[in-house]
Amino acid sequence: MTKAVFFDVEDYEKNFLQKKCNGKYDYYLLPNPLNDISKLDDDIKDADIISCFTTSRVSGDILKNFSNLKLIALRSVGFNHIDLDYCKEHNITVVNTPNYGNKSVAEFAFGLMLDVCRKITKACIDFRDMNINPLETIGIELGGKTVGIIGLGAIGAEFARISYGFDMNILGYDINQRDELVDKYEVEYTDFDTLLSKSDFISLHSPLTKDNFHMFSEDSFKKMKPSSIIINTARGELINTQALYNALINKEISGAGLDVLESEETISDTDYLSDISMLNSEKLKDTVLNTRLFQMENVIITPHIAYNTKEAINRILSTTIENIDAFISGKIKNKVS
């Protein structure tokens, strides 16, 4: 029987996976991420299939310990946490779960934008502390403002739909231009620098690639309006953290709403608390800067939860099982590598 091991499994996922796997696979449901093979039992190292979330950092050094691995079934759209080069060299297929969180992520990103520009979190905290000062919570309206969307795939397109409903002007930056977005939501495609200079808000919805790593650099922030706000629910590495911090301190931009951070695993992953040697100089620097960002009143940071709705989770799990079933039957769906 095919052996499948699921990592990063939350309690609310267990019933679904048990019902779908019983009688079909020799399966294991593990709560921990796949970060340290030394913590794993020997009897799962001959797994045919592993499945994980973005909290697992799956390097070649980890993968080489699996003697029979044929498929990595990701429970995410993103795949930058997987060593794809190793997978290609060793004929390991990698599949993902696209389109599960289009509405969830787009709605959350828009919520972050509203939160930052209307100072909702600050007002809530101040009121709770009985510090009521309306002058400190003066915000701005969205209607009539310009929002720039980086990446107009499924999530970016949904974000455009919501923005259009709020009567916003929409600029788009993407390699592929979609005529239906121009027709439906009056999206104006433009180049990167023009989007930076004209946008009151910028929302990131691009996958992370080698080409767009740190696309928001010191130079990028200097081209933005001093009143502009940046929103990131995509990948933390799209933004150079040092450049973002400098831009906020120097008032080159007005605020930020972030659901993702560079080196965010150093905050959420307890492995870093038990083994400080895992923190190289770059991760240590990012962690210090992230801590400073947390302390800013014009910055909202959430723990990578934009996808986290009941509907999206159900789609993730359903697509994951469909991907595994298809692979076993000789068909490959949603192949990344």
Residues belonging to the active site: 235, 264, 304
| Sequence-ordered list of residues with C-beta below 8 angstroms from that of 112, at least 6 positions apart, any chain | 231, 233, 257, 258, 259, 300, 302
DSSP 100: S
Q: Which amino acid is at 228?
A: S
Which residues have C-beta within 8 Å of that of residue 82, sequence separation ≥ 6? 58, 72, 74, 94, 336, 337
Cα–Cα dist 33/11, whole Å = 14
Q: By C-alpha distance, which of 321, 332, 328, 326 is closest to 29?
A: 321
Helices (H) and strands (E) in the chain, counts: 14, 12
Token pair belonging to 168: 């916003």
Closest by CA to 83, choosing from 61, 65, 67, is 61
CA distances from 212 to 193, 204, 208, 288 (A): 14, 11, 6, 23
Strands 93-95 and 71-74: parallel
Handedness of CA 220, 222, 225, 231 (dihedral sign): positive
Identify each DSSP E strand in 45-121 by its residue range.
Answer: 49-52, 71-74, 93-95
Tell me the C-alpha distance between 23 and 201, whole Å: 51
Distance of alpha carbon 211 from alpha carbon 193, whole angstroms: 16
